[in-house]
Amino acid sequence: DWRSVKPLLFDRIRPGFVDLLSIIDCSAVLGLRNLSEAAEQVMFFADEIGFERFALVGHSMGARIAADVAAHFTERVSRLLLLDGSNLPEDPEIAEERLSDEIKRLGQEKWAELTINSMMVENLVTDLKLSMVKRLANYPIQVLLDYYHAMAKWDRDQFLPAINKIKCPVTIMQATTLDSGEKRHSITTNPSSRWIDGFSTYMPKSKIILLPGTGHFVMLEHPKAIADWVNKNESSLTTNPLTSKISN
């Protein structure tokens, strides 16, 4: 997901790309039910590779996790870049049940195809879209359900408390939003969302960058914008930045 970003980073920058354990090896760790556990995985990785203070980038579910890291490890995160975050509109139990029903009704492969297409991927090449569908179709269903439940629970219980705890500067690059029926729209046609409005209200100094004509996978369509953000902020860090690969 970040293959186009890494070559654009300055040579002196040492990036780290975090894969969640349950995504790397589903047989070892089934999906997490709490995104704060995923935030702890990010910090374990940072400690393991010696990142004391770092800039953090998160996309989609990873934007939630990155916000949770910044909220609970305030002295470790110097700056935060959140890519196309959102909030699920449903109660976590209802959201998980609905997802389970959808996968059973459609079959996982068809569900994966419809899900990726709903993320507005028209600008991506066909091979890349097919690869994304295949990856999603191959996840164990329980992992998908666990993470979906975890996202909805974090959105309901932790989103606003996390915003109120974040101390570092925040930049948001937003391309899409979800409506109350969980249908994705371009940010330019549906500019308000609980995600954007929450940061605007509780962190009014947040920098919000709208990306018209862009789908959900911002890092694939605008890798230079992300690399430029990391390169620009590198000089403000006491150590090298960490780029968090925590995606769908």
pLDDT, one tens digit per residue, over 37-72 is 889 989 999 999 999 999 999 999 999 999 999 999
Instruction: Name the residue among 220, 238, 246, 218 with its Cα closest to residue 55.
Output: 238
| Whether residue 221 has pLDDT greater than 70 | yes
Q: Round to whole Å and give the CA distance between 184 and 115.
A: 10
Alpha helices (runs of H) in the chain, residue ranges in sequence order: 21-24, 35-48, 61-72, 92-106, 108-118, 126-138, 141-157, 159-165, 194-202, 218-221, 223-233
| pLDDT attached to residue 197 | 93
| pLDDT attached to residue 241 | 40
What number is the average pLDDT over the span 20-40? 66
Q: Round to whole Å and give the CA distance between 219 and 224.
A: 8
What number is the average pLDDT over the span 64-87? 97
Pick the range with the lowest mean pLDDT from 81-85, 177-181, 241-245.
241-245
Angle (CA) 243 62 192, round 5°? 115
* Best-predicted range by mean pLDDT (56-65, 134-143, 186-195): 56-65
Q: Round to whole Å and give the CA distance between 221 and 215.
A: 8
What number is the average pLDDT over the span 16-28? 63
| Whether residue 20 has pLDDT greater than 90 | no
pTM: 0.90
| pLDDT attached to residue 90 | 86
Read off the pLDDT band of 110 (50, 70, 90).
Answer: very high
| Whether residue 19 has pLDDT greater than 90 | no
What letter would DSSP give residue 6?
Answer: G
Structure tokens at 94: 């209802």
